[in-house]
Structure 1
Amino acid sequence: MASMRCFGKGARPWKSPPAFNPACRRFLSSDNRFFKVSEEVREALHSKSRPVVALETTIYTHGFPYPDNVALASRLESLVRVGGGVPATIGVLDGVARVGMGAEEIIRLTASAGKKGTLKISRRDLSYICGLGAAGKKHNGGTTVAGTMVLAHLAGIKVFATGGLGGVHRGAESSMDISADLTELGRTPVAVISSGCKSFLDIPRTLEYLETEGVGVVTFADGREGNVDFPAFWSRDSGLRSPMTIRNEQEAAAIIHAHHALSLSSGLLLANPIPADASVARSEIDGIIEDAIQEATSAGASGKDNTPFILAKIKELTGGKSVIANRALIEANVRRGTSVAKELLKLERMEQAVPVGTRSDTFTVPAWPSTLQSTVAPSLPEATSNAADVAASAGLDKSTAPPKADIVVAGALAIDFSCDYAPLPGAIDQVAPQLHTSNPSIITQTLGGVAHNIAKAAHYMGASVRLCSAVGDDLSGRAAVAQLSSDGLQTSSIKVLDASTGQRTAQYVAVNDAHKDLTLAMADMSIIEQLDTWTSDRLSYLQAASPQWAIVDANWDPANLHAWLMAAKSVGAQTAFEPVSTAKSIRLFQGHSPTSAPTSSKSRPTSTIPTFPNHIVDLMTPNNHELHALHTSARSLGLFDSPAWWATIDSLGLPSSGSRTALSHLTSPALVDEGIPQMSIQLLPFVPCILTKLGPKGVLLTQLLPAGDERLSGPGDAPYVLGRDRTGSETVGGLYMRLFEPEEVLGPGEVVSVNGVGDTFLGALVAGLVHGAEKKGSKRVEDCVGLAQRAARLTLGSKEAVSPELIQLGRSARRM
């Protein structure tokens, strides 16, 4: 854990989604060595912010060769994201079952396709491959339909989209060759969207077997009336009537919702016929299948070797047409699966009374700034310097109008509980707490939350700060407001929600091991994630405060996040974004479709989100994991394909032969191998100043320099200017990159707590920028990084989320 101990706030794991089997809840621990669920999937399931769709991986490890399988994996995940969902690609990597694989993990798994040690994983194989992994024999594996269903169910995912289903093989009355997919559907409550079963199987017996197992089988009618056939994979029709039919995704979702409400333990098969333009005629494919089966029999291909042999032969006999059809049908299934998952989430939200007015999949950021006033707050007044007048025009009491402030911070305010494991003498494990039992510990309670920590750090550093957040009308909320007052922070911008709303003050519980390293954390931030009460007056608060900087954390849902950022821009404030976690960081890009960009004037390039110089975020401070998540999200949404993005990148003046040598010199070969500087550069058109927190490696500053910036010609800055514009851009002057190594790296015994370290860094950084502006003009970001690193170092050695020693550090800095 030493790599996370210097200036990185550390990931905050979110509540695990409820497991269906209580005995399996332990597998959702972030420390479990057999089973890991990505934070993005966890959060989407827990908060019901976005639908989650499970995807299998045998199609990558045993269906398509490398690198075609990489392209397919990227395509299918992109289809889910463009549809507003979260892809949960499921597989086994290094002996660990993973739900929600990252891009690098998928690449590693797909690269192992065809290798002897890469296994095909069904239910029966999970304990084998995971057990061997724990024993030191680390295998990779692609999960079959059955294996994927098991793991999806353990994670709490209800919808799974795949290509085709296994079934009863021809001659199974003597061979007993029946796919485990069918028995899994009989005992695991996951809805599988597929194009039926492969047509070389015995489809009539497959349907009979599913009926015996109690599996509901329905087929999408796709506008057809009367009797509808159950699909036969490459063909839309099989000659067999489907047991049941449905018209659309809404009906499918209603069936799934009722299925779970009735606590039925079996699965559902939603058969989605292959698109008509990709379908192979039955008259053509049936003869080819018969030939392939005969050759398989002659070659003695049986058992697990039977299906791969037949598929290869069908590919050969159709001249590759079957592969094209295969790709078309799985893409159609993933699209439909995402739509079904979205409709299911609507039903679940309605039943649980979760507000849907701020759904991320319906929010699109307008081009900046032409449509801002009509989008953010059409009824609010123009910016004014009179805080009381602004308050009155917005219907606020003059006595509660927030006074002016250097910095406004909007985001989470929470009660933090830190539980440090304190093992008794003779305990079995002297480092890690034990699951399923009570553990001796030292428990401390402090006021926290990302926005609160940032505001407190900036306040301690001497800046005038206003925190915009919300608490419930409960004991925790009243204690939070009282603590803010005692710390000298204004409370006029803290909304106390009436008890009738049912909203609770946010809470964060961290369970640490004996070395103070995070073992498990639980967070309830729903009061911020579902908060609509700021809609009418966020702009008035910002106008009254008239801040130099507005800092917004990613605990807001995407709609509120972007509204805060745009409102801050409208009052002339510079904006900073704190990503919070890998899952929440991508809210910056959520809700945007590459195909729905607003139409822009000739002077402003078209983009799915505002790009430089019309960006809505001036600065952000991700750690390396959050940077990777942001980059992956931008790429999957097609943001790197826009003309505006290319125009900015071309203006950086980077050599066409590549910049690896220069990047390695400015940073390190290890960071270049990890892709940190490259990802930072590619995100600059959207956020022109990025400070990536790299633990003991320091902080990497990557920023665009505007045309005419003095650093482009200053000799002291020359070593850090990686590129200069050669296109004649009126806005972009060049690229500045600089690695700030830490002055000191603490050892395990010197770290008191990692909570709030990254938040402290950002609060101190922006406070330094504010103080610089108050003196001899504007202080540059690079002039404040060292100060922010020293502030983070103090918090690492403090039991508080923000070290009180920042007060003295701030005084010393202001005297300089």
Structure 2
Amino acid sequence: MIGKLACKLGSRMAAVTYSIIQVRRFLHAMDVSTDLTELGRTPVAVVSAGVKSILDIGRTLEFLETQGVCVAAFGESREFPAFFCRQSGFQAPYQVQNEEEAAKLIASILALGLSSGVLIAVPCPKEQTASGQIFEDAIQQALKEARSKGIIGKELTPFVLQRVNELTSGKSLDSNIALVQNNARVGSRIAVALGKLKKAQGKGNLPQSGRATAPQPVVIGGTNVDFIAKARNATMLVGGQTNTGKVSRTFGGVGRNLADCLSRLGRTPFFISAMGKDEHSESILRYCSHMDMGGVLQLEGHNTATYCAVITGSGELSLGLGDMDIHQQITEHYVSRYKQHLCMAPVVCIDGNMPIATIQYVCQIAREHQVPVCYEPTDENKASKPFLSDSWRALTYISPNLRELRAINRTLGHPVPTDLPSRLEDVVRTAMTLACPLLTHLCCVVVTLGSHGVLLCGRSMGGSVCLHPGTHTQNAAGELCATHYPAVPVSREEIVNVSGAGDSLMGGIISGLLAGYDTDTCVRMGLLSASFSLRSREPISQKISTFSVSLEQVKAQSWPEAKTCRMD
């Protein structure tokens, strides 16, 4: 009843002390409380102290499972609590260690639009453990008396509670009050964490993913705070001297950039990443309020990833320093919490920041559920991660630059050039040679060429490279071809930041793919997005939108001719 009322009032939280879900003992037939079935059809989170040991805890948990209710133990253990006792001998199906994890679990379940609820089982405080055993002994004594007197059914609970109160000289009432206070404390903190999560994800009663009309794309990858220190002079002073200049802060990370771009293009991807719980993470959440950050893990005692670049007055990188350890927390175990998102996604995008095991897990899930995967290599050192095993064969798209493409081929044991060319014709020829071995399994290799634009390599269909994975499978025998698309002209004076151009390119291409557009339109949406970001101080331009990068805007542009050739 509490949960039903909370749901009708627009709340997703209800804190209680007694177990509102119960299957009574000593009955051959199931005697099930209506609270249990109600939770199975009401999308609300209930915080309780578990199930009283006077009830059948095992059968209660089994019945909850049949009703589709997510049950999670709160704290350090999966041990399901038994009201006065921290341990019942039964394991909860899931575990959340703190209020933030509980809030993210609730948000994720609500986002799926399920009609069932969530039970967060909170053990009694440790300081009550000793008295908890006293109460448990009293409960067992009361149950023994009930059996001898033949008391069953609806008469059992009031009899046992009355006898426990008598046997403990009224101390059970004090413990009840303490449990009420503890549940209210934990429940309110979860509600606050859930509120912060919703605020970070945008206005409304549900996370953005809950308002999506179709399955969301999923982006998994790094989130960084970038500090750019640009000296005023072309020559840096060394030996401890101070260089005058300007320092700026932006928010980056390949995964974050891609999710940002897709969000601005109206695709509302579900973003999975990891950050510390510090001032940097709070700034990121405020800046990314237009994104669905429901899969972002915040960890106490860890630093949010930061990168500091020192640049000379002439634009040359003098020194770079990165603190990226937090990316190792994007583990297979953590990502597996969002398996349902992965299975239902129209496309999953990953970057090279996460551990190899996580990449392998995502590729395995994608292969099993036939979900297209786009891999952003991130940098030359990380580019080869999927290619250290057969995981890469589950990829659909990759978007390397020429150096990253060479590193991938080197990992696979293919011959690679020692020096990379600079003349456009030679660059295109080298890129085609290096992309060819990958197309035995991949749908398309998108080679970013900087100011020269982009080269698409894949199977020919209708005079251009096939981008849609289903069609690619049907056209497996088609000849390989490559199409070079020149970049949107941007003068050197207009360029402010190049760090997010490649991510903007892929964001535009993927957005076009999700809209079902042809290859030329998809690529030009990407090139248009990249041109905005090149002129922006931020890696992803705030000018990117569903209007500025639309089908109409693409058609209105005068585009340089794209050239297609066979990959012999």
1:450 partnered with 2:254? yes
SS of the residue aligned with 1:510? strand
What secondary structure does 1:753 align onto? coil
The equivalent position to 2:427 in structure 1, one of 671, 675, 678, is 671
Q: Which residue of 2 aligns with 1:574?
A: 372
Residues 394/511 of structure 1: CA separation in 2 closer, same or farther (3 Å cut): farther
- Seen in structure 2, the aligned counterparts of structure 1 residues 542 and 392 have a Cα distance that, compared at 3 Å, is farther
Matched residue of 1:585: which SS? coil
Q: Secondary structure at the match of 2:538?
A: coil
Supply the distance in 2 between the matched residues of 1:814 and 1:562 (Cα, whole angstroms): 38
| Secondary structure of residue in 2 paired with 1:802 | coil
Contact 1:419/1:443 (CA < 8 Å) preserved in 2? yes
Residue 521 (structure 2) aligned to one of 776, 783, 795:
783
Residue in structure 2 matched with residue 802 of structure 1 by the alignment: 540
**CA distance change for structure 1 residues 811 and 517 in 2, over 3 Å: closer, same or farther?**
farther
Aligned counterpart, 2:482: 737
Superposed CA deviations along residues 388-440 of structure 1, whole A, max 9, x for unmatched, are 449979999996694345421110111111111123xxxxxx35564643321
Q: Against the structure 1 CA distance between its residues 431 and 571, is the aligned structure 2 distance closer, same or farther, given a 3 Å change threshold?
A: farther
Among 517, 538, 542, which residue is 2:342 paired with?
542
Q: Give the distance between the partners of 2:440 and 2:511, measured in 1 at CA.
A: 25
State the match for 2:151 in structure 1. Answer: none
| Post-superposition offset of 1:616 | 1.4
Distance, in Å, in 1 between the alignment partners of 2:363 and 2:512 is 21
Structure 2 Cα separation of the partners of residues 483 and 786 of structure 1: 27
| Aligned counterparts, 1:21-420, within 5 A | 387-389=112-114, 402-403=209-210, 404=212, 405-420=215-230
Asked which structure has the greater RCO (Cα within 8 Å, sep 6+), the reply is 1
Residue 575 of structure 1 deviates from its aligned partner by 1.3
2:320 alignment partner, SS class: strand
1:786–1:389 Cα change, 3 Å:
same
SS in 1 for 2:447: strand
CA RMSD of aligned residues (A): 3.5
C-alpha distance in structure 2 between counterparts of 1:756 and 1:736, whole Å: 28
Q: Give yes or no for contact 2:532–2:544 (8 Å, CA) kept in 1.
A: yes
**Cα offset, 1:550, TM superposition:** 1.3
Alpha-carbon distance, 1:565 to partner: 3.1
Alpha-carbon distance between aligned partners in 2 of 1:753 and 1:433, rounded to the nearest angstrom: 24
- Say if 2:236 and 2:243, in contact at 8 Å, map to a contact too: no
Q: What amino acid sits opposite 2:352 in the alignment?
A: A
Amino acid at match of 1:694: L
Aligned partner (choices 539, 558, 561) of residue 359 of structure 2: 561
Question: Which amino acid in the other structure matches residue 379 of structure 2?
Answer: S
Q: Give the superposition deviation at 1:752.
A: 1.1
Residues 428-472 of structure 1, C-alpha deviations (whole Å, 9 max, x = no match): xx3556464332121111221111111111122222222111111
**Matched residue SS, 1:626:** helix
Task: Provide the residue aligned with 2:559 in structure 1.
Answer: none
**TM-score after normalising by structure 2:** 0.55
1:727-767 deviation per Cα after TM superposition (whole angstroms, max 9, x unaligned): xx9833221211112231532x3321222111111112111
Distance in 1, Cα, partners of 2:207 & 2:349: 22
Residue aligning to 1:525: 324
What is the identity, as a one-letter code, of the residue corresponding to 1:790? L
Please give the alpha-carbon distance, in whole angstroms, between the structure 1 residues aligned to 2:350 and 2:266.
Answer: 19
The letter of the residue matching 1:759 is D
TM-score by length of structure 1 reads 0.39
How many angstroms apart in 1 are the aligned matches of 2:451 and 2:113?
47
Amino acid at match of 1:809: S
Report the equivalent of 1:634.
Answer: 412
Q: Specify the alignment match of 1:141 in structure 2.
A: none
Aligned position for 2:350: 552
Cα distance between partner residues in 2 of 1:547 and 1:528: 22
* Aligned counterpart, 1:505: 304
Q: 1-side partners of 2:221 and 2:115: how far apart?
A: 22
Pair 1:475 & 2:279 matched: yes
Give 2:292's aligned amino acid. Q
Q: 1:525 to 1:401 in 2, by over 3 A?
A: same
Give the CA deviation at 1:557. 1.2
Alignment check: 8 A CA contact 2:264 2:544 kept: yes
- Flag the 1:526–1:574 CA change in 2: closer, same or farther, 3 A: same
**Contact 2:351-2:375 within 8 A present in 1 as well:** yes
Which residue identity does 1:573 align to in structure 2?
Answer: V
Letter of the 2:375 counterpart: F
Q: Structure 2, unaligned stretches of length 5 or more?
A: 1-108, 122-189, 195-205, 467-473, 556-568
Which residue, out of 431, 438, 442, partners 2:242? Answer: 438
Question: 2:536 & 2:396 partners in 1: Cα distance?
Answer: 30
Distance 1:751 1:681 in 2: 33
Structure 1: runs of 5 or more not aligned: 1-383, 424-429, 593-607, 641-663, 706-710, 722-728, 774-778
1:690 maps onto 2:453 in alignment: no
Return the match for 1:464 from 268, 271, 278: 268
Q: Distance in 1 between matches of 2:111 and 2:497?
A: 42
Q: Compared with structure 1, are the counterparts of its residues 578 and 433 closer, same or farther at alpha carbon in structure 2 (3 Å cutoff)? A: farther
The 3 A distance-change label for structure 1 pair 632 and 548 is: same
CA distance in 2, matches of 1:395, 1:535: 21
Q: Following the alignment from structure 2 to structure 1, what is the Cα–Cα distance between the partners of residues 527 and 458?
A: 18
The residue type equivalent to 2:399 in the other structure is T
> Is the Cα–Cα contact under 8 Å of residues 388 and 401 in structure 1 kept in the other structure?
no
Match of 2:535, as an amino acid? G
The AA in structure 2 aligned to 1:557 is P
Q: 2:428 and 2:335 mapped to 1: Cα distance?
A: 42
- Aligned partner of 2:509 in structure 1 is 765
Assess if the C-alpha contact under 8 Å between 1:394 and 1:540 holds in 2. no
Does the 8 A contact of 2:111 with 2:207 survive in 1?
A: no
Same amino acid, percent of matched pairs? 22
2:224–2:305 contact (8 Å) kept in structure 1: yes
* Secondary structure of 2:502 counterpart: helix
Deviation at 1:558, TM superposition (A): 0.9
Q: Deviations over 1:51-93 (max 9, x none)?
A: xxxxxxxxxxxxxxxxxxxxxxxxxxxxxxxxxxxxxxxxxxx
Counterpart secondary structure, 1:458: helix
Equivalent position SS for 2:292: coil
Deviation of 1:799 after TM superposition, in Å, equals: 0.8
Alpha-carbon distance between aligned partners in 2 of 1:585 and 1:559, rounded to the nearest angstrom = 15
**1:513 to partner: Cα distance:** 2.0
SS of residue paired to 1:551: strand
Quick check: 2:363–2:391 contact (8 Å CA) kept in 1? Answer: no
Could you tell me whether the CA contact under 8 Å between 1:461 and 1:809 is conserved in 2?
no
Look up the SS of the partner of 2:255 in the other structure: helix
Query: Residues 764 and 391 of structure 1: is their aligned pair in 2 closer, same or farther, counting only changes over 3 Å?
Result: farther
Q: 1:556 to 1:783 in 2, by over 3 A?
A: same
